[in-house]
A and B are shown apart, each in its own frame.
Chain A
Amino acid sequence: EAGVTQFPSHSVIEKGQTVTLRCDPISGHDNLYWYRRVMGKEIKFLLHFVKESKQDESGMPNNRFLAERTGGTYSTLKVQPAELEDSGVYFCASSRTVGPYNEQFFGPGTRLTVL
């Protein structure tokens, strides 16, 4: 089966611009997660979708970030307006089920650079 895919792989934008990241989970995976790694630091959870519903968005840093998952398939993460501290690698992951035993499959990430 195809893995989690993310687009674009890299994005370079200027401060104040808008960027939209896309994630396509593994087919049949109802659970979709967004994570972010700022340079040299830990990978941090942003939010979790179950189908099209936001189950947990406790990690979203502020209201400049908007995540959607219309139809419960792919998801987008929009940053508007982007700030310098938003630079980092944004990972998407998906899983079929929830619970402590389930494995999250990660995509390759989108490297975002805000100048």
Chain B
Amino acid sequence: AQSVAQPEDQVNVAEGNPLTVKCTYSVSGNPYLFWYVQYPNRGLQFLLKYITGDNLVKGSYGFEAEFNKSQTSFHLKKPSALVSDSALYFCAVRDKGGTGFQKLVFGTGTRLLVSP
């Protein structure tokens, strides 16, 4: 079965510094990988996805993620963190459901705290 792991419960970074939120995956076949963010009292918001193509994927709010097949990783990055980036981040992989690629399999989430 497909799975993702987010090894860090929390990441702390100072505003203006680069940030990385880690994600590793385990899949059979081609991986379809996603990052979602949950701000306080809000739903999950889609950030970016990797389906195929360039290993560096650019998404919303200045975030990007690097797909690394040899390390089975899909780390989320941003060159310069903002206090408003503080939120809960989830990595996910698309898994096959009853009739194809339907359900998402999520990691446990990483809380990002950006200090002023």
A residues engaging B (CB < 8 A)? Answer: 3-4, 6, 31, 33, 35, 40-45, 48, 55-56, 58-59, 91, 93, 98-101, 103-109
Q: How far is the CA of A107 from the CA of B44 in the complex (A)?
A: 7
Cβ B49 vs Cβ A103 within 8 A: yes
Cβ B97 vs Cβ A48 within 8 A: yes
Chain B: interface residue total (CB-CB under 8 A): 27
The distance from the CB of A2 to the nearest CB of chain B, in whole angstroms, is 13
Cβ B105 vs Cβ A45 within 8 A: yes
The distance from the CB of B23 to the nearest CB of chain A, in whole angstroms, is 12
Q: How far is the CA of A105 from the CA of B44 in the complex (A)?
A: 8
Interface bits B31-47 vs A (CB < 8 Å: 1, else 0): 01000100001111110
Within 8 A of A (CB), among B60-116: 90, 92, 94-95, 97-109
Q: How far is the CA of A91 from the CA of B98 in the complex (A)?
A: 20
> Of B41, B94, B98, B102, which is within 8 A of A108 by CB?
B41
Q: How far is the CA of A58 from the CA of B49 in the complex (A)?
A: 25
- Grouping DSSP codes into helix (H, G, I), strand (E, B) and loop, the B interface class, with mixed when no group exceeds half, is strand
Residues of B within 8 A of A59 (CB): 103
Given A45-B104, A55-B97: A91 and B46 within 8 A (CB)? no
11 contacts between A and B (CB under 8 A): A3-B43, A6-B43, A40-B108, A42-B108, A43-B104, A48-B97, A55-B97, A56-B103, A104-B104, A105-B46, A106-B44
> Of B51, B95, B99, which is within 8 A of A55 by CB?
B99
Q: How far is the CA of A108 from the CA of B24 in the complex (A)?
A: 26
Q: How far is the CA of A45 from the CA of B95 in the complex (A)?
A: 10
Residues of B within 8 A of A101 (CB): 51
Q: How far is the CA of A93 from the CA of B36 in the complex (A)?
A: 13
Given A101-B51, A108-B42: A45 and B109 within 8 A (CB)? no
- Smallest CB gap from A48: residue in B: B102
Residues of B within 8 A of A48 (CB): 97-98, 102-103
Cβ B100 vs Cβ A98 within 8 A: yes
The 7 A-B residue pairs whose C-beta atoms are closest, nearest first, are A106-B44, A56-B98, A56-B97, A43-B106, A108-B43, A45-B103, A100-B101
